[in-house]
Structure 1
Amino acid sequence: MRKTILIVLAFIFCMPLCAQISYDEINSSKLNSVRQLKIKLPKDYDPSSEIKYPLIIVFDGDYLFEPIAGQVDFQTYFDDMPSSIIVGVVQGSERRYDGYCDEVTGLPKESGLRFHDFVAEELIPYLDEKFNTSKFRVAVGHDLMGNFINSYLFKEDPLFNAYVCISPDLSGTVRDYLGKRLEFFKDDIFYYMATSDKDLPYIREAVLNANSQISEVKNQYLTYYFDDFKNDTHYTLVNSAIAKSFDKIFELYKPLREKELEEKVLTYEGTLDKYLVDRYDRIEELFGIKKPITEEEFEKVVKVAEQRNDLESLEKIGKLAKKLNPESLLGTYYLAQYSEKVGKTKKAKKLYESALTLNDVSHINRDFIFSKIDELTIVDTDEEEGGEEEDNEEN
């Protein structure tokens, strides 16, 4: 049922795509021809901005482009993946020539090698120069082209960071040594492959064999995902594979969810401000995107700190929030909470009072802050004079 709902929603997001898709042409000396491109830019794309976007290259752009563009719209709406630049290569009657590979090696030769070089030496540089692309590139291919995109993995410096191979027609060396090749990467590589129980038998057999190989690979830089769908054909599995692959490839980009909070944040050895900083540094390192930590994520991590009785983390999260957004009351509020919990009532009261002069946040009730000030005023009045002097207010 959930799968059906997702497909219907993805279809709804696809409906307005025609108005957003532009067409371009690139004159290729490698192919000695002009190739048509389908291009979809992010809705908020500004060529004068310094914001960079991942680049998704869609092989079989004739029929794969629209489903992928719709899925990207769907997942970016919920902030489950970054806005991306999507480029579909229209292959049409040239598809067999573009994907032509040696039967023994499974790697491109002749017309296939020319197309391989066209993508690497002409198309990608053209797109990098024309658009605000980040360093993160995704290749998507189905069937023949699902095998073809693997050829970039067999280069010394792979052209793409993520590979979505949907029911790939694996052959030759690629089929037999794909797992071995994936053992040697020293930079992050995402690899996704899918088949189904009703896939073409010869393709399914090769894919399952390749999956057995890759599943044995021990490489910290490889992130591998595999799906074996039920009751999908060679063609109907495409929509499910697109959704699942992007969901997995951009998993780190998603907002903090319950599973991550329970499995990683709660058990983290160290203060939780460091977990947040490292997480978002990793997003920038991988995807070339500087994503801000949201108020909701700060609040979720603070709740985990409370669950751990981790006052040190509470203080450091407060300092981090204040540093990143000094005009917001968020960081000052957390520092006030910390001071109150460690018994520094005068300091806590001052911090609560100063929080009221800063910008609101959605999940903190100002009436509650006023009540805390009143409560601490009473406590402060009842305290005997001359106790240990509290620390100065944090800058």
Structure 2
Amino acid sequence: YWDDIPEAIVIGINQSGSRRADTYADDIQYFPSKSGKNFFDFIGAELFPFINSTFRTTNFNVIAGHDLTANFANFYLFKDRPLFQAYINLSPDLSPQMAGRLYQALGSTGSQKWFYLATASNDVAELKRSIEQLHLQLNTIDNDNLHYTFDNFDKPFHYSLVAHAIPRALEQIFAAYKPINLEEYEELKTDDSSPLAYLNKKYGTIKNLYGVNLPVRLNDFLAVGKAIEHKENWDELEKLGELALEQDPDSMLGSYYLAKSLEERGKTKKAMRMYESAYDKKEAGFITADFMIRKAELIKKDFGY
């Protein structure tokens, strides 16, 4: 996904021959029971501890299911401390009371939750009706902690909709993680906000939502740097340079921003020396050794140093 989502561990559970038993719920309270309860507990009490003790993980977990397993996945949402923060429901075969329980749980959640729901024009008619009714309910929820997305795909059927829905679901769930795009950049250039504040908030959000302490990507440094230069806020460009140097002292990036800030504020000799100090550092995007040499030489020529 080219940095559109964090590194992820994808786990599939083979339910060949056991799918109905694994998703069994009683017909009184409509919660997992007997073999369904065993499978429910297996995921939380055995699978998760094994994964967390074996691999490098965070506390952000996504569960996806189709048909019966989509409905079953939702039961984790009703725990006091849900294992999953994001739920991908692909044409769920909803059990009795599920719609009302989802409405209540998602409407009252005090922590960030993502809920993706999908059907299609050629989905199983009975499932499609119940899914569309569920959507009408969930779409009325007013809760800033809920990130809800619904798709009704044209033409796919019950099984083929999965291939359409999974990329859409991941795109919505990890929207805040993606690098700064052209639309965001244009807004940063033209609005009254601070591009640097936007950058800091973006990476704070990534850490808070997904549990990932992600270094600022080169794409985002360059986008924010260009926006700051467009606004001619040289004090802020200096702060961006300090951030870049702190993150990677061996990169030319921070040196360039500091030198550019000095140059634009009339401190040309210091700027020249800063450009020169970066000749042997790692190149970053358009900031190459030749580029930095030219910047220093132009100052020498213009001011006779």
Which TM-score band applies after superposition, normalised by the shorter structure?
Answer: over 0.9
Q: Corresponding residue for 2:304?
A: 381
Q: Corresponding residue for 1:42?
A: none
CA deviations on 1:200-244 (whole Å, 9 max, x unpaired) are 111111111111121221222211111110001011101111121
Q: Corresponding residue for 1:170?
A: 94
Q: For 1:180, give the aligned amino acid.
A: Q
Partner of residue 136 from structure 1, selected from 32, 37, 60: 60
Per the normalisation by structure 2, the TM-score is: 0.92
Deviates more, 1:233-242 or 1:279-288: 279-288
Q: Corresponding residue for 2:227?
A: 304
Q: Corresponding residue for 2:198?
A: 275
- Provide the identity percentage: 37
In 1, distance between residues paired with 2:264 and 2:175? 35
Relative distance call for 1:153 and 1:312 in structure 2 (3 A) is same
Relative distance call for 1:262 and 1:218 in structure 2 (3 A) is farther
Q: Corresponding residue for 1:201?
A: 125
Relative distance call for 1:264 and 1:365 in structure 2 (3 A) is closer
Q: Kindly report which structure 2 residues correspond to 1:181-220, keeping only aligned pairs within 5 A, or say none.
A: 181-220=105-144
In 2, distance between residues paired with 1:105 and 1:260? 47
In 2, distance between residues paired with 1:199 and 1:106? 24
In 2, distance between residues paired with 1:157 and 1:108? 17
User: Is the contact between residue 280 and residue 289 of structure 2 (CA under 8 Å) also seen in structure 1?
Assistant: no
User: Is the contact between residue 104 and residue 173 of structure 1 (CA under 8 Å) also seen in structure 2?
Assistant: no
CA deviations on 1:321-344 (whole Å, 9 max, x unpaired) are 111111111111111111111222
Aligned length: 305
Partner of residue 327 from structure 1, selected from 250, 266, 270: 250
Offset of residue 264 of structure 1:
6.2
CA deviations on 1:115-137 (whole Å, 9 max, x unpaired) are 21222222212222232222111
Q: For 1:355, give the aligned amino acid.
A: A
User: Is the contact between residue 273 and residue 320 of structure 1 (CA under 8 Å) also seen in structure 2?
Assistant: no
Per the normalisation by structure 1, the TM-score is: 0.72
User: Is the contact between residue 211 and residue 226 of structure 1 (CA under 8 Å) also seen in structure 2?
Assistant: yes
Q: Corresponding residue for 2:208?
A: 285
Q: Corresponding residue for 2:71?
A: 147
User: Is the contact between residue 189 and residue 228 of structure 2 (CA under 8 Å) also seen in structure 1?
Assistant: no
User: Is the contact between residue 103 and residue 171 of structure 1 (CA under 8 Å) also seen in structure 2?
Assistant: no
Q: Corresponding residue for 2:267?
A: 344
Partner of residue 186 from structure 2, selected from 262, 266, 272: 262
CA deviations on 1:35-72 (whole Å, 9 max, x unpaired) are xxxxxxxxxxxxxxxxxxxxxxxxxxxxxxxxxxxxxx
Offset of residue 297 of structure 1:
2.0
Relative distance call for 1:222 and 1:268 in structure 2 (3 A) is farther
Offset of residue 179 of structure 1:
1.9
Offset of residue 110 of structure 1:
2.9
Q: For 1:352, give the aligned amino acid.
A: Y
Offset of residue 79 of structure 1:
1.9
Q: Corresponding residue for 1:246?
A: 170
In 2, distance between residues paired with 1:103 and 1:202? 19
Q: Kindly report which structure 2 residues correspond to 1:81-92, keeping only aligned pairs within 5 A, or say none.
A: 81-92=5-16
**1:118 is aligned to 2:42:** yes
Q: For 2:277, give the aligned amino acid.
A: S
In 2, distance between residues paired with 1:168 and 1:369? 58
Offset of residue 260 of structure 1:
2.7
Q: Corresponding residue for 1:99?
A: 23
Q: For 1:289, give the aligned amino acid.
A: V
Unaligned segments of structure 1, at least 5 residues: 1-74, 383-395
Q: For 1:126, give the aligned amino acid.
A: F
More strand by share: 1
CA deviations on 1:50-101 (whole Å, 9 max, x unpaired) are xxxxxxxxxxxxxxxxxxxxxxxxx2xx222222112211112211111122
Q: For 2:287, what is the secondary structure of its paired residue?
A: coil
Unaligned segments of structure 2, at least 5 residues: none
In 1, distance between residues paired with 2:109 and 2:94? 21
User: Is the contact between residue 30 and residue 95 of structure 2 (CA under 8 Å) also seen in structure 1?
Assistant: yes
In 1, distance between residues paired with 2:187 and 2:268? 35
User: Is the contact between residue 188 and residue 224 of structure 2 (CA under 8 Å) also seen in structure 1?
Assistant: no
In 1, distance between residues paired with 2:128 and 2:28? 19
